[in-house]
A and B are shown apart, each in its own frame.
Chain A
Amino acid sequence: DQQVKQNSPSLSVQEGRISILNCDYTNSMFDYFLWYKKYPAEGPTFLISISSIKDKNEDGRFTVFLNKSAKHLSLHIVPSQPGDSAVYFCAASVLNSGGSNYKLTFGKGTLLTVNP
């Protein structure tokens, strides 16, 4: 049972336009959400995060929106650049049963291709 879903395996946009990557989750206990960017054969790189008490967080070209009632979040990249081409993973965390660790549950990722 996949608790974090990225339903679009790929997305292609033109340079300069907006990229919108979507993510849905099912576990209402998730309290922190993150976006990671990953190149082939490399580890994910943290991009941006948002706490469940907020509905928007912005960092430069990247903005994450959270809709708790819909259990949906999205990552907006504007303007998109060719260097943004990578796989983007949505991740969510919940305090585990031990009470001291936050473990991440990842979606399957969306391959973003930004065309020059």
Chain B
Amino acid sequence: GAVVSQHPSWVICKSGTSVKIECRSLDFQATTMFWYRQFPKQSLMLMATSNEGSKATYEQGVEKDKFLINHASLTLSTLTVTSAHPEDSSFYICSARDRGLRLQETQYFGPGTRLLVL
């Protein structure tokens, strides 16, 4: 149980285009999903917290107009990188928190999406 999927796993796009990444909790309902990015040999940096049915909360320094997050259902959150530039190339990982768990701190992570902007 507690499987989180991400799609696509790899994406290569031209500078200036927008890219949408999907995050799904497959066997549980997630009221909260988190979006991270990871640069090589660095830790996972939280970008935003996404709550179902409400606006996402962005971390300091993350542009909300550039990284659009939508959490339309209890099993799906999307991250759209708008007008992508080469510096947006990174590994993007989502995680979901199972609403049914009493110990709500445990997050289950997706496999990640590698974005390369040319």
Instruction: Show the binding face of A for B, using Cβ within 8 Å.
Output: 4, 9, 32, 34, 36, 41-46, 49, 89, 93, 96, 98, 101-109
A residues within 8 A CB of B112? 41-43
> Contacting B46 at CB < 8 Å: which of A41, A46, A104, A109?
A104
- Report yes or no: A102 in contact with B105, Cβ–Cβ below 8 A: yes
Interface flag for B108 (CB, 8 Å) = yes
Chain B nearest CB, measured from A84 CB (Å): 18
> Contacting A46 at CB < 8 Å: which of B41, B49, B106?
B106
> Contacting B105 at CB < 8 Å: which of A34, A41, A43, A107?
A34
Instruction: Show the binding face of B for A, using Cβ within 8 Å.
Output: 4, 6, 32, 34, 41-46, 49, 51, 57, 91, 93, 95, 97, 103-112, 114
A residues within 8 A CB of B93? 43-44
> Contacting B49 at CB < 8 Å: which of A9, A36, A101?
A101
A34 to B44, CA, bound (A): 14
A and B contact pairs by CB, cutoff 8 A, 5 listed: A4-B43, A9-B41, A34-B105, A43-B112, A101-B51
B residues within 8 A CB of A34? 105-106
- Report yes or no: B114 in contact with A41, Cβ–Cβ below 8 A: yes
B residues within 8 A CB of A98? 57
